[in-house]
């Protein structure tokens, strides 16, 4: 894994994507800090951190677009997959390299905190929580981008698809306020979850029996729960979307609240997508 990590980290400094990422990130953060803090004389650094949160969905795909798709495009992926290194080591090495470069961009913004300290007061815990939240949120976005990069050999396609996926995650906050909260919507949503699970099992096993049994049992369980406790389905869609919201969890960090639950959630999210990436590469190795 260290060899993969060093190779990928070096590649960021030798490829245009790395410098484009840093340039765009520093340009946008510099504009926001200048207009939101320096010109207005505002020493509240937390407002600056919140204002730059949205740019992650634009710049993270620049980091992840080439991680695996470039290997496939250059036909070097088979050499990598048949190397003595295990696929989990390859995936984790690439992920950590991208996360390290991402953290480098964040580290450069610490200069802004020094300016605030010189000319005003800086809330240390809120700032620390904001940066920890940034690292965790960035890690989750990178894990998604890495997974998508492993699905295609075209870097542009990987970047656009990653942007669309991250944008969808961002829009969960809007959707949770827009979706209906009545019992019927919760019941329909539960049925869709059961159907999706059955479809996934079919795609994995190619056996109709297991998905059919799962679909039938799931439908019975949903009906019984609705019959016994219909109140559980009220606002169910919004609650589930809120649980999946990455942005809501970041806001607690930006308030200086270092929540173990939210930290575990972010780490679990990363591990899940890294696992999916490993499975994708393993399938390619034996295909």
Q: How confident is the model at residue 79 (pLDDT cuts 50, 70, 90)?
A: low
Burial 186-211 (b: 16+ CB within 10 A, else e): bbebbeeebeeebeebbeeeeeeeeb
- 77: pLDDT strictly greater than 80: no
235 vs 26 pLDDT, higher one? 26
Task: Flag the least confident range among 16-20, 226-230, 239-243.
Answer: 239-243
Phi-psi region of 130 (alpha: psi -120 to 50; beta: other; left: phi over 0): alpha
Is-contact 49 127, C-beta < 8 A? yes
Q: Is the pLDDT of residue 271 over 90?
A: yes
Long-range contacts of 45-50 (CB under 8 A, 24+ apart): 45/112, 45/113, 45/116, 45/122, 45/123, 45/126, 45/127, 45/130, 46/123, 46/126, 46/127, 46/130, 46/254, 48/112, 49/127, 49/130, 49/131, 49/134, 49/254, 50/254
Q: Which of 131, 168, 161 is nearest to 146 (CA)?
A: 161
pLDDT beyond 90 at 99:
yes
The greatest distance separating any two alpha carbons of the chain, rounded to the nearest whole angstrom, comes to 68
Q: Give the predicted TM-score (pTM) of the model.
A: 0.81
Domain ranges for the chain, please list them.
Answer: 2-177+243-285, 183-234
């Amino acid at each position: 894994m260290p060899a993969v990590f060093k190779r990928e980290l070096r590649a960021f400094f030798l490829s245009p994507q790395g410098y484009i990422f840093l340039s765009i990130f520093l340009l946008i953060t510099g504009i926001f800090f200048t207009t939101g803090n320096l010109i207005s004389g505002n020493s509240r650094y937390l407002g600056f951190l919140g204002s730059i949160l949205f740019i992650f969905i634009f710049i993270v795909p620049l980091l992840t677009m080439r991680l695996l798709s470039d290997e496939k495009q250059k036909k070097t992926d088979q050499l990598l997959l048949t190397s003595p290194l295990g696929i989990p080591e390859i995936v984790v090495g690439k992920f950590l390299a991208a996360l390290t470069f991402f953290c480098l961009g964040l580290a450069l913004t610490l200069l802004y905190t020094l300016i605030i300290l010189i000319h005003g007061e800086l809330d240390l815990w809120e700032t620390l929580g904001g940066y920890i939240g940034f690292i965790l949120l960035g890690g989750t976005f990178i894990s998604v981008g890495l997974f998508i990069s492993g699905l295609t050999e075209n870097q542009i396609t990987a970047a656009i698809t990653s942007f669309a996926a991250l944008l969808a995650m961002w829009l969960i906050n809007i959707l949770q306020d827009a979706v209906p909260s009545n019992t019927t919507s919760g019941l329909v949503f539960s049925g869709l979850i059961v159907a999706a699970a059955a479809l996934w099992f079919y795609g994995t096993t190619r056996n109709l029996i297991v998905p059919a049994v799962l679909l039938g049992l799931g439908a019975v369980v949903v009906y019984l729960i609705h019959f016994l406790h219909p109140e559980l389905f009220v606002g169910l869609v919004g609650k589930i979307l809120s649980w999946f919201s990455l942005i809501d969890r970041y806001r607690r960090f930006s308030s200086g609240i270092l929540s173990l639950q939210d930290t575990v959630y972010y780490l679990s999210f990363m591990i899940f997508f890294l696992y999916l990436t490993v499975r994708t590469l393993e399938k390619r190795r034996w295909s």
